[in-house]
Structure 1
Amino acid sequence: MLKLFYFCLFIFCFVKIAAQNNFSFSNDNYSGINSVVLSPTQAFFNTNPWDVNLISADIFLQNNYAYISKQNVLGLLNAEIQIANPKKNIKGENQSNVFDFYNKERADLLMNYDAMGPSFSITTIIKEKKYVFGLFSRMRAQGAVLKLDNYFRFGNEMVPQPSDYKMNPFSSATMSWNEVGLNAATEIFPYSDKHWILGINLKYEMGLDAANIISHKDIDLSASEPAPTEDPDYKNIYASNYDISLNYITNYDFENDRYEYKQNGSGLGLDIGITMMDKDKREDEYNSKFSLNILDIGSVNFRQGINHSFKNGKTVWLQNNPVFKDEDFTTPEDYLRKISQEAYGDENASFVGNGFRIGLPTSINANYSQRVKENHFINFNWIQRIPFFKNSVRRNNMVNANYSVQKEAFGYGVSTSLSEYKHLYFGGYLRLGPLILGSENLFPVFFKHKHLHAAAFYLAIKFYPFWDNELKRHRREKCDCEK
């Protein structure tokens, strides 16, 4: 069972980089199609009739399981990283560039990769009413394991495991998928004193890779001294009283060590948002706006996904088992079938069929924006995950406050964020013509951290065909003055 856990941790830590949306830029009135994934109404406020994103990528990592010592993100490009080995005095506490572990009793890992490909939005007038339509494409990867009972801390510290240990239940899910979405937004309640805008995203989801593991109850783990002929540094570890469900599918070809891209799942997704805006008729900028959005309602069905269940089997010898010593495990399935052989005497007994479903990372996003003076805004975002389906990937909870200056040719802002209501980050963004750079956790990018365990970076390239400005808009307005 330990290898099952290591397999999942490998997915979370190394297969994908984590990410989160850049909230500072998402509140920019010129963010356009890039921000409809957080607020489906946001493109409605773009004064340009066309908005085109060529490519954007948002990269973020946060965990309290492992870190790299005394380093920053840019320094990693040329650094030679060592794996911690306490017995050889290779520790993150006393030297740099060491991949070391926190070794806390509970471990959290969160990931959310988001890259937007060619996408656009267009503003049009239909029967004297403004509509905004958009089309976007994304590549996403997301997953989490929260409050994992960190049995691995003993091995990480190279100290003996306790003779008896109960590993608490946990669940985790991760998924990578492509997404194509249609965005639409328009004003409703035309006779209201305020402006009410309704926006929706209808999305087609194309699943690529996924894994879901659930430990339904405590696992009894026992450790004993190895035989005299075996390595004394590694105890014999046994698992019993387990009840584990594992579902997975991947495009990675382990035999040839390459990734073969193909669609393995499909599904539908929905984002819906409503915004109330206070804006004077003759003003280009609003005084304030409040939006409430429900994001990622839906799921992806992997019909060919592989399902295993380990329940009520015999005690399984996990570490120092001579049966595993000379085995060449090429794929995860090789190992799972060998575990099945140990638990039930039949390598096919744990296999329980094909097909599983992973829910999208459903969340609520509430946003408030207040104009301070011309081109200056203060903005607040609150995102709370609300898993809608039984087996859903989960995004991180976030509270963000930012101050931004938004002009046609450029914009910039500074922000502070509280991730999972306990990790405080500082960042910002810069929009200079077609180039946008930003980070919600800027310091680790440039400054060395004693424990580098989180970082963020955002990059986008876009352009505005048929760009608009204040002079053009005023020329188009109908004059209601007396002749």
Structure 2
Amino acid sequence: MKKLHLLIFILFTFHISINAQSYFGYTFDNYSGIHGITLNPANIVDSPFKADINLISGSGFLGSDYFGINVQDALKSDSGFDFDSDMEKFPKDDNNFFFNFDVLGPSFMFNINKKSSIGLTTRVRVFLNVNNINGELYESLSNGFDETTDFNFDIKDFNGTVHAWGEVGLTYGRILIKNEYNLLKGGITLKSLQGVGSTFFSAPTVTGQYDASANTLTTTGNLNYGLSQEDFDDDDLEFKNLTAGFGADIGFAYQWNEKNNLIVADSIIPRFTKYKLKIGVSITDIGSINYKESELTAYDLNATVDAGSFDEDGSDQALEDNYNGVTTIASTKIRLPTALNVLVDYKIKSKLYVSFATSMSLVSNNTETANSIINTVSVAPRLETKWFSIYSPISFRQYGDFAWGAGLRFGPLTVGSGAVLTNLLSDSSKTTDVYVGLKIPIYRKYK
């Protein structure tokens, strides 16, 4: 738990105002180009682009069932945002925290011929998952145990993983079936992964009591705490001594066309098929990174300690000073946040579409040394043209949160958020996100 409560606090207070399960809403757009293949690599083929070049894009997503924020009150406050006064808290026995930051660097895609396309993507990603932490204990760690009342806690299957890595992906897509009314295409992205590092921890069972009058913390159980390498610091990421790994995305998309619309089998000019209905299915982030010299420490938590030491020394130093630990060097495999994505996109009329989408984690939140996405179901109407799109996704997200967002694509510039409207209107939002991107689109020429 190396500076765990401080890390979560920093992530929230910094990214709440600038920060999406990546590019939420934008990837549904037929004109999302290189961004669309991060959701489903089959999107690379039969697109409206001759080529699409991403210059730089950034996306972030933060969520928890521990806190909720009233953005209006925070904006109205003369003193600015304050974590303690502007945050509504919902402590329970098994609170969860999630953070995802995704930077899409210089990337491109282009058509090889009328049936095949290829692309290259570069990304830097940071994921944080903390699962099943007692909210009252977390709050006490954050506040330095300045509680005035006693409390007990009983934690089951507590675990967390912070992981940062880079990736270079090579995507290939091909039209598999194409006739007057039907089109089936598939795609795959093979990824060369470069692990920056990871902090991870787990405890099957931890029980304890806090005695306010004596300011002592009594605990029972065991905690496993690890670093991907001895000198890794999740508060100061350094892109050196990288560890190689392998990953992949795979996807398919079926399109049904009400009419023979821009499908000419013998045409020498690749053409974008304007469908009536599209159904896409993909599995993303298959793979892992194996850190061969991880530092693993098993702590015996059966002790009574001065709670003030957590405030004075920080969680990592307090663990080392107050509990017996055995450290070993071993190999640790950190799994990527593998997810199943399904998209159903229906054209209501010319230029007006509605998408039904879901992203579901294929990694259980009880899995150790792994990251996972937040499960999301959404409906997203959009107005889509060549140079301009506007969309407004409505989502139901894990942790019981409802999110309503908005996004805009105007030529090379894209900005949006899957939760901006609920963040502004809700009394207590539990998730927040934002994204921005700049690219060079080169559209196809039509006859």
TM-score (norm 1): 0.79
In structure 2, the CA distance between the partners of 1:298 and 1:425, relative to structure 1 (3 Å rule), is same
Q: Is the 8 A contact 1:378 1:401 kept in 2?
A: yes
Question: Aligned match of 1:150 in 131, 135, 146?
Answer: 135
Q: Is the 8 A contact 1:81 1:99 kept in 2?
A: no
Q: Is the 8 A contact 2:75 2:81 kept in 1?
A: no
How far apart are 1:308 and its partner, in Å?
0.9
Q: Which amino acid aligns with 1:409?
A: W
In structure 1, the partner of 2:363 is 387
In structure 2, the CA distance between the partners of 1:239 and 1:132, relative to structure 1 (3 Å rule), is same
In structure 2, what is the Cα distance between the partners aligned to 1:186 and 1:19? 29
Matched, 1:139 2:124: yes
In structure 1, the partner of 2:265 is none
How far apart are 1:320 and its partner, in Å?
4.3
In structure 1, what is the Cα distance between the partners aligned to 2:253 and 2:83? 49
Q: Which amino acid aligns with 1:149?
A: N
In structure 2, what is the Cα distance between the partners aligned to 1:221 and 1:134? 53
In structure 2, the partner of 1:463 is 440
RMSD: 3.1
In structure 2, the CA distance between the partners of 1:363 and 1:25, relative to structure 1 (3 Å rule), is same
In structure 2, the partner of 1:412 is 390
How far apart are 1:337 and its partner, in Å?
3.5
In structure 1, what is the Cα distance between the partners aligned to 2:387 and 2:239? 39
Matched, 1:403 2:381: yes
How far apart are 1:178 and its partner, in Å?
1.0
Q: Is the 8 A contact 1:400 1:418 kept in 2?
A: yes
SS at match of 1:41: helix
Q: Which has the higher contact order (CA 8 A, sep 6+)?
A: 2
Matches within 5 A, 1:72-471: 80-82=80-82, 84=84, 92=85, 98=86, 101-125=89-113, 129-152=114-137, 155=140, 158-162=147-151, 165-190=153-178, 194-217=182-205, 219-224=206-211, 226=213, 235-240=215-220, 242-249=221-228, 259-279=237-257, 280-283=259-262, 284-311=273-300, 314-320=302-308, 332=316, 334-339=317-322, 342-343=323-324, 349-387=325-363, 391-420=369-398, 422-443=400-421, 447=424, 450-451=427-428, 453-465=430-442, 467-468=443-444
In structure 2, what is the Cα distance between the partners aligned to 1:69 and 1:405? 30
SS at match of 1:285: coil
How far apart are 1:259 and its partner, in Å?
4.6
SS at match of 2:239: coil
SS at match of 1:33: helix
SS at match of 1:36: helix
Specify the structure having the higher radius of gyration (Cα): 1
Q: Which amino acid aligns with 2:355?
A: N
In structure 2, the partner of 1:11 is 7
In structure 2, the partner of 1:25 is 26
Aligned-pair identity in percent equals 22
How far apart are 1:81 and its partner, in Å?
4.2
Q: Which amino acid aligns with 1:48?
A: F
Q: Which amino acid aligns with 2:149?
A: P
1:77-111 Cα deviation digits (max 9, x unpaired): x9544453xxxxxxx3xxxxx45633344312111
Q: Is the 8 A contact 1:264 1:304 kept in 2?
A: no
In structure 2, what is the Cα distance between the partners aligned to 1:151 and 1:73? 24
- Unaligned regions of 5+ residues in structure 1, if any? 85-91, 93-97, 228-234, 344-348, 475-483
How far apart are 1:189 and its partner, in Å?
3.6
In structure 2, what is the Cα distance between the partners aligned to 1:154 and 1:34? 38
In structure 2, what is the Cα distance between the partners aligned to 1:175 and 1:192? 47
Q: Which amino acid aligns with 1:338?
A: D
Q: Is the 8 A contact 1:180 1:204 kept in 2?
A: yes
In structure 2, the CA distance between the partners of 1:13 and 1:41, relative to structure 1 (3 Å rule), is farther
Q: Which amino acid aligns with 2:321?
A: K
In structure 2, what is the Cα distance between the partners aligned to 1:423 and 1:179? 31
In structure 2, the CA distance between the partners of 1:261 and 1:40, relative to structure 1 (3 Å rule), is same
In structure 2, the CA distance between the partners of 1:12 and 1:180, relative to structure 1 (3 Å rule), is farther
SS at match of 2:392: strand
In structure 2, the partner of 1:477 is none
1:410-447 Cα deviation digits (max 9, x unpaired): 111122011117211111211111111111101256x3
In structure 2, the CA distance between the partners of 1:158 and 1:199, relative to structure 1 (3 Å rule), is same
In structure 2, what is the Cα distance between the partners aligned to 1:390 and 1:154? 23
In structure 2, what is the Cα distance between the partners aligned to 1:26 and 1:72? 32
In structure 1, what is the Cα distance between the partners aligned to 2:185 and 2:74? 40
How far apart are 1:394 and its partner, in Å?
0.8
Q: Which amino acid aligns with 2:106?
A: P
In structure 2, the CA distance between the partners of 1:72 and 1:397, relative to structure 1 (3 Å rule), is farther
In structure 2, the partner of 1:54 is 55
How far apart are 1:318 and its partner, in Å?
4.8
In structure 2, the CA distance between the partners of 1:276 and 1:243, relative to structure 1 (3 Å rule), is same
Q: Is the 8 A contact 1:151 1:167 kept in 2?
A: no
In structure 2, the CA distance between the partners of 1:263 and 1:369, relative to structure 1 (3 Å rule), is farther
In structure 2, what is the Cα distance between the partners aligned to 1:15 and 1:354? 29
SS at match of 1:350: strand
Q: Is the 8 A contact 1:108 1:147 kept in 2?
A: yes
Q: Is the 8 A contact 1:41 1:197 kept in 2?
A: yes
How far apart are 1:193 and its partner, in Å?
5.8
In structure 2, the partner of 1:45 is 46
